[in-house]
């Protein structure tokens, strides 16, 4: 369980906090959607949870432990992030992209990491991409590869930042189905403005507006009552 308590963050050059006094719990074994229009604080919240920003106030704990007290290795084993831009290394094949983090972060032997990466790609049905480069695959395939790469570290939670931004409607539907199949392995927190996608993948949700929580609970109820606000 990720527990956020009275979380605020103000950028150094900001006049007002980007997020203010947010308290929310993200439970295990489900997908949770964070909704809101551009500038609502979604990405700032994600960056605080991912430890890329240090909160101005408040706390974040995973399974009861303050994330600020975790070592880098322990934290990255607990929580993974897939950014909107994906950050796949263009000069590396998909397989080499997969192998890099386990070798560099956890010190795995290259052969062991490559075997695990091959097994992961096969399990997720994208093993035919292993020898291709990022420029040779589609946006939907790249999203799946980025998540597969994150799963190589076996995190309990994974944050997805606007995962459908580069996908068309048909690909988004297939991606939502695929993401649902992964919930047995990890719990997802999806930051998105795509309401149909959020409805398809999430059971619970959070709506942010001007850095504050406007609604939280059942995702369908949030979408039904706040559609014009997002």
For residue 147, being part of any structural domain is answered with no
pLDDT band at 226 (very low <50, low <70, confident <90, very high): low
Report residue 142 as tokens.
């790249």
pLDDT in tens, 86-115: 788 999 999 999 998 888 877 889 899 999
Q: Is position 140 within any domain? A: no
Looking up tokens 């432990």 gives 65
Percent of the chain with pLDDT over 90: 44
Residue 169 lies in a domain: yes
CA 100 to chain centre: 19
Is there a domain that residue 99 lies in? no
Q: What global pTM score does this model have?
A: 0.83
Q: If 0-12 CB within 10 Å is exposed, 13-18 middle and 19+ buried, where does residue 90 land? A: exposed
Find the CATH number of the domain harbouring 57: 3.40.50.300
Each residue's pLDDT tens digit, 177-193: 877 777 777 889 999 98
In a domain, 201, yes or no: yes
Within-domain flag for 44: yes
Domain that holds residue 188: 2-88+154-229
> Do the domain assignments include residue 195?
yes
Chain-centre distance of CA 205, in angstroms?
14
Residue 104 resides in a domain: no
- What is the tally of structural domains in the chain? 1
CA distance 222 to 230: 10
Residue 167 reports pLDDT greater than 80? no
């Amino acid at each position: 369980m990720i527990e956020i308590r009275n979380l605020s963050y103000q950028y150094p050059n900001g006049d007002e906090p980007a997020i203010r006094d947010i308290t929310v719990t993200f439970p295990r074994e489900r997908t949770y959607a964070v909704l809101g229009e551009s500038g609502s604080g979604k990405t700032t919240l994600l960056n605080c949870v991912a430890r890329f920003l240090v909160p101005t106030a408040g706390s974040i704990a995973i399974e009861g432990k303050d994330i600020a007290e975790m070592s880098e290795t322990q934290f990255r084993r607990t929580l993974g992030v897939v950014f909107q831009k994906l950050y796949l290394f263009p000069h590396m094949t998909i397989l080499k992209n997969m192998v890099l983090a386990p070798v560099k972060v956890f010190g795995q032997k290259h052969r062991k990491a490559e075997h695990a990466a091959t097994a992961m790609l096969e399990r997720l049905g994208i093993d035919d991409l292993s020898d291709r480069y990022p420029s040779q695959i589609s946006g939907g395939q790249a999203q799946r590869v980025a998540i597969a790469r994150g799963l190589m570290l076996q995190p309990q939670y994974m944050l997805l930042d606007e995962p459908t931004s580069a996908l068309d409607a048909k690909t988004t539907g297939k991606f939502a189905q695929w993401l649902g199949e992964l919930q047995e392995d990890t719990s997802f927190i999806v930051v998105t403005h795509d309401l149909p996608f959020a409805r398809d993948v999430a059971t619970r949700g959070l709506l942010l507006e001007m850095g504050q929580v406007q609604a939280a609970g059942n995702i369908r109820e949030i979408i039904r009552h706040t559609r014009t606000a997002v």
